Chains A and B, each alone.
Chain A
Amino acid sequence: MRLLVRGGRVIDPASGRDAIGDVFIAEGKFAAADGSADRVIEAKGLVVAPGLIDLAARLREPGYEYKATLESEVEAAVAGGVTSLACMPDTDPPLDEPGLVDMLRRRAKALARVRVYPVGALTVKLQGERLTEMAELAVSGCVAFSQANAPIADTLVLWRALQYAATFGYSVWLRAEDPWLAKGGVAHDGEVATRLGLSAIPPFAETIALGTLLELVRATGTRLHVCRLSSAAAVEMIRAAKKEKLPVSCDVGIHHVHLSELDLGYFDSHCRLEPPLRSRRDREALSRALADGTIDCVVSDHTPVDEDQKQLPFAEAEPGATGLELLLPLVLKWGAERNLPLAKSLARVTVDAARVLGAASGRIEPGAPGDAIVFDPEAPFRVTPEALRSQGKNSPFLGYELAGRVRATIVAGNVVFEQK
Chain B
Amino acid sequence: MRSITGTLLIAQEERFQLLDRNGVAHQFMLHHRSAVEPDQLPPLLHRQVRVSYRPADPPHVIGHAAVSVDLLED
Q: Are A and B interaction partners?
A: no
- A contacts, CB < 8 Å to B: none
